Amino acid sequence: MVVTRFAPSPTGSMHVGNARTAIFNYLFARHNNGKLILRIEDTDLERSTRENEEKLIEDLKWLGIEWDEGPFRQSERMSIYKEYAEKLVKEGKAFYCFCTDEELERKKIEAEAKGIPPHYDGTCRKLTDEEVRIKLENKIPYTIRFKVEPGDIEFDDLIKGNIVMKEGMFGDFVILRSNGMPVYNFAVVVDDALMGVTHVIRAEEHLSNTARQILIYRALGFNTPYFSHTPLILANDGSKLSKRHGATSVAEYRQKGYLPEALFNYLALLGFTPESGKEKLSKDEIIKEFDIKRISKSPSKFDINKLNWLNSEYIKEIDRDVLLKKLKLFLDKSYFCNYDKNTLDRILILSSGGIQYFEQINDNVKIFFDDSFNLSDEYLKNNQSLIKLFYNKVSSINNINKDMWKEIVKEIGKELSLKGKELFMPVRVITTGQEHGPDIYEVLDILGKDRVLKRIERFIR
């Protein structure tokens, strides 16, 4: 059976790149009727928090990524890592290292100065059993380092193809820290092996770690899983996606009013194209079509335009009642007081046309609330005849309904011989202050005669 896993570290809110990795693991597992394990990699005590872990899980659930086992926490599996690390020491595949940070730092700088690779120089590897015993007895802090044996490391990556790592790219590396915590490369291998993970799907930044991990798999006598390294998601300018490029976390998109289905759809198709070529697919459709071989080898840039388009497509499909509920979740509280429920609903539906994400409703709705917008003197001067005519007509009629508004605008068009944009644009501008907006008759009808008059009388010169 296929077993995949998503193994984030709880050091911040979930990044879209991370989310996509989760999505790929999920899709692969579901496509193959396998299972997905959630594992929290919290061995970095300084940066991992329970709060972040909860946020992570919230984001995952929101996106609709269900896992089958876990969450497991590495911090709760300490004894296991220690046991395996010591097993390696016993078998002569790893060794205790008593070098201090300062010594290592110094040697590294020296090596760099000489132009040789800044790898561990093997000092403690040569220690005799007796020397080790004495240091241990004296309670000198130690780490456990893995003995890297010479030889190239070769493996097949399901996305990248055959990879050959030349020997000598790293020295004997730490697998267990002096505080007893395992290091990422070690904990991952132990966990993936013990949890029966068959397919490791993760970001490309881990590609070179894979060599180290394969060495550990072999030393421990475990079979290596299939590896798949997905290319990174970059910002629009080709650099690493970071805060200065706008929203980068799943939570931010949720807060702006993107739909989880849309973000899922977008992210799944960033670097992956279904054979059908469809762009808008449901989760089930993507699961059906998912094929790891069709994941691109090259990095992709995060394109907010396409996400916006996709999201708007999803919004268009929402039923009126559900849409209203959603819109109200994102509507500023201050907008709830001026209208009765039915009118507010009408305003919301009217204003929702063309929005790409729910937060935008707040901008669209403004024309129904702001009676004191200003227009330039020049504009007013150029449109005085229309303003006066409109004002007189409106004030002379009682009980104006939607059809009546239509009639009024029509008459103005006739009398001033204006049509199309020439006619509607100024009507819209003098009554709402905006050049664009929803159906103008609807807007005027909601505003009502009195408010419309009040708005225009300020512009009569």
Q: Which of residues 29-88 bind RNA (CB under 7 A)?
A: 41, 43-44, 47
**150 is a contact residue toward RNA (CB under 7 A):** no
The nearer residue to RNA, 187 or 461, going by C-beta atoms, is 187
**23 is a contact residue toward RNA (CB under 7 A):** no
* Catalytic residue check, 243: yes
The nearer residue to RNA, 126 or 377, going by C-beta atoms, is 126
CA distance 124 to 98: 7
- For residue 146, give the nearest of 114, 124, 165 by alpha carbon: 124
Shortest approach of RNA to residue 318 CB, angstroms? Answer: 14
CB atoms within 10 A of CB 152: 11
Identify the bridge partners of residue 227 per DSSP, sorted by sequence position. 157, 200
Of 298, 342, 376, 398, the one binding RNA (CB under 7 A) is 298
**Residues 233-292 interacting with RNA (rule: CB under 7 A):** 234, 236, 238-240, 269-273, 277, 279
- 203's tokens: 């970001």
- For residue 38, give the nearest of 10, 17, 80 by alpha carbon: 10
Of 3, 165, 404, 456, the one binding RNA (CB under 7 A) is 165
**160 is a contact residue toward RNA (CB under 7 A):** yes
**151 is a contact residue toward RNA (CB under 7 A):** no
Of 130, 137, 150, 164, the one binding RNA (CB under 7 A) is 164
CA distance 175 to 89: 11
Write the interaction track for RNA spanning residues 374-413; mark x where CB under 7 A is met and - where it is not: -----------------------------------xx--x
**294 is a contact residue toward RNA (CB under 7 A):** yes
Stretch that binds RNA, among 181-189, 245-253, 382-390, 393-401 (CB under 7 A): 181-189
The angle, 0 to 180 degrees and rounded to 10, between the axes of the packed helices 78-90 and 209-220 is 70
Write the interaction track for RNA spanning residues 110-149; mark x where CB under 7 A is met and - where it is not: -----x-xxxx--------------------x-x------
Per DSSP bridges, beta strands 94-97 and 143-146 are antiparallel
**H or E segment to which residue 202 belongs:** strand 199-203
Per DSSP bridges, beta strands 199-203 and 226-230 are parallel
Of 60, 437, 445, 452, the one binding RNA (CB under 7 A) is 437
The nearer residue to RNA, 220 or 268, going by C-beta atoms, is 268
CB atoms within 10 A of CB 221: 9
Of 299, 349, 389, 416, the one binding RNA (CB under 7 A) is 299
**H or E segment to which residue 317 belongs:** none
The nearer residue to RNA, 425 or 453, going by C-beta atoms, is 425
CA distance 339 to 347: 9
**Residues 199-228 interacting with RNA (rule: CB under 7 A):** 204-209
The nearer residue to RNA, 359 or 461, going by C-beta atoms, is 359
**309 is a contact residue toward RNA (CB under 7 A):** yes
The nearer residue to RNA, 115 or 221, going by C-beta atoms, is 115
Backbone angles phi, psi at 364, to 5 degrees: -65, -25
**170 is a contact residue toward RNA (CB under 7 A):** yes
The nearer residue to RNA, 136 or 336, going by C-beta atoms, is 136
Taking each continuous run of H as one helix and of E as one strand, the counts in the chain are 19, 12
- For residue 11, give the nearest of 39, 60, 45, 57 by alpha carbon: 45
- Indicate which residue of 166, 243, 293, 333 is catalytic: 243
Shortest approach of RNA to residue 447 CB, angstroms? Answer: 14
Look up residue 358 and give its DSSP letter.
G
CA distance 315 to 283: 16
Of 4, 21, 25, 185, the one binding RNA (CB under 7 A) is 185
The nearer residue to RNA, 40 or 377, going by C-beta atoms, is 40
Task: Tell me the DSSP string of 67-96.
Answer: -SEEEEEGGG-HHHHHHHHHHHHHTTSEEE
Shortest approach of RNA to residue 324 CB, angstroms? Answer: 17
Chain centroid to CA 257: how far? 13
Return the beta strands (E) in 114-152 as ranges.
Answer: 143-146
**Residues 331-360 interacting with RNA (rule: CB under 7 A):** 353-354
Of 50, 402, 421, 454, the one binding RNA (CB under 7 A) is 421
Shortest approach of RNA to residue 61 CB, angstroms? Answer: 21
**428 is a contact residue toward RNA (CB under 7 A):** yes
**158 is a contact residue toward RNA (CB under 7 A):** no
Shortest approach of RNA to residue 321 CB, angstroms? Answer: 19
**Are the beta carbons of 300 and 233 closer than 8 angstroms?**
yes
First-to-last C-alpha distance (Å) of the chain? 80
For residue 275, the one-letter residue type is E
Active site residues: 243
